[in-house]
Structure 1
């Protein structure tokens, strides 16, 4: 069962990671406007803050959450295909609106899927399964953008969009095969969705461990976005090739995957709060190295360190959520957390653009500062008992 879950998770998340860059490439190719292309990408992320909490409520209410995840996968695939089909034929504003509506379903491909892991493994194998699940994010983060680059170079941006949608559809059998929930009658509530959404936020805000993990991960994700946006510019700055910037992102994802693989081999897993703060600190050190290196090889070393921190950081975040989330609102905690991180990423991306245009080194170092702030929040709140 876990193997099938992992295959579906990798397919869904790789398709998700491909969707934004693929729309960016095809949007630029068809319209010739970087503004339109960037707005399509922004549309897929900005609406996650709305979609995550609502999807969480619905996933917690249904007996077979996998079927709802399947509908979300199909809807997301249909949305990106609609945008692709409308390019050059439909006003840009309408297409951006379609992208925004599609992005509402995005948290289902991340937190919504991860929230179902206890149904697959039970409580005994959850810790190591969480590390494996985190690896699927690293694989997707590594393979998604790389596939878009290769496919777009060989077959064009249109092919990249179609492959992205195909991967999302390929994950449908795994989603539909997820186990049913036995306690669905206890989970159904006469309260409105708005009240249930409030209950999900209250579960995060009222639990000190969840609160600091959520806020710390949001600040960290905002900083990570600055590095992602800055990477192509940094590649040009250090080597004259923007493609070398994409290589830096691939190095980060690959090293995150390696670090999470090492975690699964440990006989005794460390305390997850320590891993969360430590991984964030290591990522910040790597970003400093990237920002001050002055050479491409120095930036690669920094990217290696960033990945070694970000991989365990994500695993620790999921482990904390699994352990601390109340069973009745587990999906809400995961999808709300995912939506908040995606929105933080969008904020970081928006801030990084003008900053990178002024000084790409400053933009990368700003990402490192965000990691430092996140570490302070994680450690201070922990010492205060909050």
Structure 2
């Protein structure tokens, strides 16, 4: 199957789950049956999908569901109910996808369980693919997904959900990055596009804009050998200008609604970076102003940490260090930000020491290597 066809199949997965649930299947059984139908589609469609791919998936998934029900002799009462297969006809046009977004991001689920269930039910990914993307054993991921499905088993698709929780889960998917055969950042973009088509909420479009603007910089973010390239050193000719322009257009439309949210504010910061053809052209004063808006919305220490970096660029390293002064040094990336600001202020010895401290606690290999090189560079320059 071509990549395009695979994307089509996965985009239909949540709609098919919704149809099965409406016909009487519980969520867990419907999701399992749809996964089997997706595998059958990969095996049987070849390069030519059927005329009505959704109807094909509904038919196959419903039959798989009936097979499972019929094989459970202890549940004959339920068999009598679901064995009355609906007569052939058009596939219902009702789309329960938005309800599935709420279900998969249910408040009772942990963030890791919610992201896994979202990728399974809405992304149409297999357990193996999700496990590889999260760098955990397949058995571990299977248990995580099974527990999540049991947790939401009795939740109706019609139950109102919290859109902010859905957006937070998609944000977590995006920040997982990519590993194995599944690119989670690209998957988050696809799911955010799908969600944006279902609701006109400005924060949904702000989140999609944020994803697109960050994704546009991805080709310049690492060297062929895997080394990280910080934003101020990236080759901006490698940035995807079409993706960035789409993101800026979505952001402008969202901001025009005059209902500012944190994802719109983050996207506005990313847009200011995208607008600068050279790092020297970055409007750091505006970046600081948007961080002020973001901190006012969230109060997040992480956003205040990033604001200190912007202050350091706009007003100098000393000003950035003053903005950093009342933050907890235990924050992730605190030592790295402090090192950068000390370097901006000309305190090279302190900067080198702090880069080394930041490298020692870094959790990702590429980040640790980058920070180690920064410390070595300053020590070399000083010596």
Q: TM-score, normalization: structure 1?
A: 0.30
Q: TM-score, normalization: structure 2?
A: 0.30
Which of the two has greater helix per residue? 1
Q: Answer with 1 or 2: which has the greater Rg.
A: 2
